[in-house]
């Protein structure tokens, strides 16, 4: 059976850049938690697992929601503390986002945090140095996408898990990079907003094409995509498109495919030259925590 990695960028709707830049607002501060509960249920139904890159302020405000992910056997990684774009912060503030997040998540979940994903795949020049200094073992913030105006892309071409030095020659030794997957040839992301634009058949086709090349697809979703979002003035229409019930059906179709869903850490542990944490967690497999 082919392997795939389902990653969940565990942030709330009110933490997204689209909401923060909107004119309107909502008085709901937990939009997305119900989506997290749905994901736990459907992943269990299909005997799968996942890696959750969690915004640690969510773990502070709603610790039970995050410990439930860890208790379900999912790998816990960091998605910063506040979900601010890293390139908008000075180096000291960036390191604080990384260090504080890892510390809080380890305290809340009693799990070692090895992995990191930057909000909006926004990677500053000193990214790998900052990750090494704050104790991470791997990154998953690179997307080998074509340039998408107003979004990201065009900087990278790596599509397999590699040592971070394959992405940036002077990156610290021992770090790994697990890139989020793109559609071969087309080079647009397989998931995120793109699954809602193009549908699950697009994602499933990309998964199969990558598997033929010996690449484990790395998918990503957000818990707020699986709930009915409130109307907020100024939030772009694309944010609402095919969220809620449509997205719940889409992820079920993906999980039903003949892939074994494993954690990011399991795939990263096979990359040559990647260091293990002091606890050896980098080489554990799902269910061994």
Could you please report the per-residue DSSP string of 235-265?
A: S-HHHHTT-THHHHHHHHHHHTSSEEEE-HH
| CATH code (residue 64) | 3.20.20.370
Q: Does residue 138 lie within any of the structural domains?
A: yes
Which residue shows structure tokens 């090349």?
A: 213
Q: How far apart are CA 238 and CA 193, in angstroms?
A: 8
Q: Does residue 288 lie within any of the structural domains?
A: no
Average pLDDT, the chain: 93
Residue of higher predicted confidence among 279 and 13: 13
Model confidence, pTM: 0.94
Would you state the pLDDT for residue 275?
Answer: 65
Q: Does residue 289 lie within any of the structural domains?
A: no
Q: Does residue 143 lie within any of the structural domains?
A: yes
Would you state the pLDDT for residue 148?
Answer: 86
Q: Does residue 156 lie within any of the structural domains?
A: yes
Would you state the pLDDT for residue 154?
Answer: 86
Q: Does residue 134 lie within any of the structural domains?
A: yes
Q: Does residue 267 lie within any of the structural domains?
A: yes
Range of the domain at 116: 2-283
Cα 215 vs. chain centroid, distance in angstroms? 17
Tokens of 214: 């010996």
**pLDDT tens per residue across span 230-267:** 999 999 999 999 999 999 999 999 999 999 999 999 99
**pLDDT tens per residue across span 16-31:** 999 999 999 999 999 9
Triad 18, 21, 25: Cα angle to 5°: 90
DSSP assigned state of 135:
T
Number of domains in the chain: 1
Would you state the pLDDT for residue 279?
Answer: 37
Q: Does residue 166 lie within any of the structural domains?
A: yes
């Amino acid at each position: 059976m082919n392997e795939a990695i389902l990653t969940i960028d565990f942030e709330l709707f009110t933490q997204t850049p689209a909401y923060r830049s909107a004119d309107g607002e909502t008085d709901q501060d937990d939009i997305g938690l119900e989506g997290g509960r749905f994901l736990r249920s459907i992943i269990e139904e299909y005997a799968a697992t996942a890696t959750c890159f969690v915004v640690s302020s969510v773990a502070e405000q709603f610790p039970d929601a995050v410990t439930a992910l860890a208790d379900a056997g999912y790998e816990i990684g960091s998605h910063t503390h506040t979900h601010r774009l890293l390139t908008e912060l000075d180096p000291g503030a960036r390191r604080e986002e990384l260090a504080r997040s890892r510390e809080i998540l380890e305290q809340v979940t009693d799990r070692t945090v090895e992995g990191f994903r930057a909000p909006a795949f926004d990677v500053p020049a000193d990214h790998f140095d900052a990750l090494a200094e704050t104790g991470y073992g791997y990154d998953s913030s690179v997307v080998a996408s074509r340039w998408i105006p107003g979004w990201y892309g065009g900087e990278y071409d790596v599509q397999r898990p590699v040592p971070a030095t394959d992405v940036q020659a002077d990156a610290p030794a021992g770090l790994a990079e697990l890139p989020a997957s793109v559609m071969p040839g087309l080079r647009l992301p397989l998931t995120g907003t793109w699954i809602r634009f193009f549908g699950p058949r697009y994602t499933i086709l990309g998964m199969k094409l990558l598997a033929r090349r010996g690449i484990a697809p790395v998918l990503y979703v957000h818990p707020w995509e699986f709930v009915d979002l409130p109307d907020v003035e100024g939030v772009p229409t694309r944010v609402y498109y095919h969220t809620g019930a449509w997205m719940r059906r889409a992820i079920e179709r993906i999980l039903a495919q003949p892939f074994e869903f494993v954690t990011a850490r399991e795939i990263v542990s096979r990359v040559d030259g990647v260091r293990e944490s002091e606890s050896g967690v980098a080489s554990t497999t799902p269910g061994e925590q």
